[in-house]
Amino acid sequence: MAQRKLFHALGLHMHQPPGNLRLLIEINPWEAEEIVRCYERTVRYAEQYKDVARLHVGFSGVLLEQFLDPDIVDRYRHIVDIPDMLARYREADNIELIGMGYYHPIFPLIPRADWLEQLERGRAMMERVFGRSPRGFWPPEMAFSMEMIPALAQAGYDYVVVDGVHVRPEDGLNDIFRPYIACHDGVCITVVPRDRDVSNAQESGLNPRWFQDEVSWRASVSPRPDEARLITTWSDGENGGWFRQIHEPAGFFGHFFTPYMDQCRSGGYPITPVTLGAYLAQTRPLARARVQTGAWNVGSTSGEDLSQWSGSQSQRQAVAEVRSLSDRYWRICRDHPDIYRVAGEPMVRARQQILEAETSCFLFWGDAWIPHLYARTRPAKGALDEAEEVVRAGDSSRAAHPFTSVLAETAVGDAESDPAEPSAGSGD
């Protein structure tokens, strides 16, 4: 039997919902310290093992937004120098930065009309902070559907990581140790299956010996044991005591990552850490697969039905509320192409609140956090009411408004013009 080549793509996912870093430092400073040290620890260990370590780190746009807030920088300065930390990520070429939706939405649950903006905002924030465009995409909560593929490709992504239990290869062989091509509506993207079982161990506790034995065994009983085997493990990077452990020798980086990298450095370890970008450049996928709609396993759920975020009546009502407001927003944009000229400020406010309301955390904790969602949808509804009132007022009286100066000037210059006829303007 030919010697197997085992490659490991290790990913960490980082996210905090809107305003959470400020809330934590105010009400629970110890937890805030545990969390923010996770972000700095990751890049520090990547620097320490620059020759052998290969990591993937994804940040939500809203987490990066908080990192850029001068108030947050000042409040955490005694723990971590956040600007310096971000600069070190920028320079760490052995960390492949991964994109995600800006507000960490469950894409299959939010309106498709909002997908591209969540994607493009998240990608733009990564480029702004790190000066690099992410090639890969990590769906928040690994919630993925085939319908997302065209939007991901349009946003500029080359590959997407999905939970391996949802991958359905066309040849019928359940092989999660290689990438696939998945296509929808004539648009294709590379799909990288995540190993759920080993990822669960990464999240809660493992050591290099167990990891070597487990990965070697799993590869040996996989459908193509003699081919190159890609083991992809992904977990949160700042949740749970294993990652938040202040005493580093007892946590992920001290107990697992350091001896893992030391053995890789010695040359005797049978598993090679890789970045997906480099691996896919050398091993382009040919086999095709479909991906069943689903997410990763959290709590007592399998992730197959998205029930963690939409299982209760109150969760479904909250999802419906966001969808209704988003539909209304887009309907106003269609019916009034110049709406951002005549009522730009309330439309901007409404858009911001709708996108924020799509944050997955507001649904994840059952009924407990749903009030945070409604705290966004209520002002969004008020802002849309305000925008439509401006339009109605303009249609009936052509009264001057801060966003209708051009319209007012036209009315003064041309008394013959029809006051009910809107002027041409740019849409959203």
In this prediction, residue 427 carries a pLDDT of 37
152 near 236, Cβ under 8 Å?
no
C-alpha span between 132 and 124 (Å, rounded): 9
Place of tokens 């001068």: 70
Give the pTM: 0.89
Residue 13 pairs in a beta bridge with 58, 236
CA angle 151, 157, 161 (to 5 degrees): 95
**pLDDT value of residue 428:** 40
What pLDDT, on a 0 to 100 scale, did the predictor assign at position 101?
97
Alpha carbon distance 186, 398 (integer Å) = 47
DSSP state, residue 147: G
Residue type, 48: Q
Q: Which residue has the tokens 């960390």?
A: 95
Q: How far apart are CA 220 and CA 205, in angstroms?
A: 23
Q: Distance between alpha carbon 216 and the CA centroid of its chain, in Å?
A: 31
Which H or E run includes 182? strand 180-184
> Is residue 274 within 8 Å of residue 151, measured between CB atoms?
no
The neighbouring-strand residues paired with 183 are 188
Distance, CA of 247 to chain centre: 29
Q: Do the beta carbons of residue 309 and residue 148 sit within 8 Å?
A: no
The 8-class DSSP code of residue 301 comes to B
Hey, is 170 helix, strand or coil?
coil
Q: Which pLDDT belongs to residue 300?
A: 62
Per-residue confidence in pLDDT tens, the chain, 428 aa: 345 699 999 999 999 999 999 999 999 999 999 999 999 999 999 999 999 999 999 999 999 999 999 999 999 999 999 999 999 999 999 999 999 999 999 999 999 999 999 999 999 999 999 999 999 999 999 999 999 999 999 999 999 999 999 999 999 998 999 999 999 999 999 999 999 999 999 999 999 999 999 999 999 999 999 999 999 999 999 999 999 999 999 999 999 999 999 999 999 899 999 999 999 999 988 899 999 999 998 766 677 789 999 999 999 999 999 999 999 999 999 999 999 999 999 999 999 999 999 999 999 998 899 999 999 999 999 999 999 999 988 765 443 434 333 333 333 333 333 333 333 333 34
Q: Where are the domains of the chain?
A: 6-291, 311-413
Q: Compute the CA torsion angle 111, 112, 118, 124 (nearest 10 deg).
A: -160
- Residue 11 CA to residue 248 CA, distance in Å, equals 19
Domain 6-291, classified CATH 1.25.40.80, yes or no? no
Count Cα neighbours of 2 within 13 Å in the Cβ-side half-sphere.
9
127 burial class (0-12, 13-18, 19+ CB within 10 angstroms)?
A: middle
Token couple for 241: 């005591």
Alpha helices for 274-343 (secondary structure H) = 276-282, 307-310, 313-335, 339-342
Q: Which amino acid is at 393?
A: A
Which CA distances in Å does 170 have to 142, 146, 201, 230, 289? 21, 14, 29, 19, 5
What 3-state class would DSSP assign to 411?
helix
Question: How far apart (Å, rounded) are the C-alpha atoms in residues 350 and 329?
Answer: 8
- Interatomic CA distance for residues 177 and 196, integer angstroms: 12
Contact 182, 145 (CB under 8 A): no
Q: What does the buried/exposed string (b/e) look like for 24-42 if buried means 16 or more CB atoms within 10 Å of the residue's CB?
A: bbeeeeeebbbbbbbbbbb
Return the bridge partners of 167, or none.
291
Note the pLDDT of residue 131.
Answer: 96
Identify the CA nearest to 35 among candidates 52, 54, 46, 22. Answer: 22
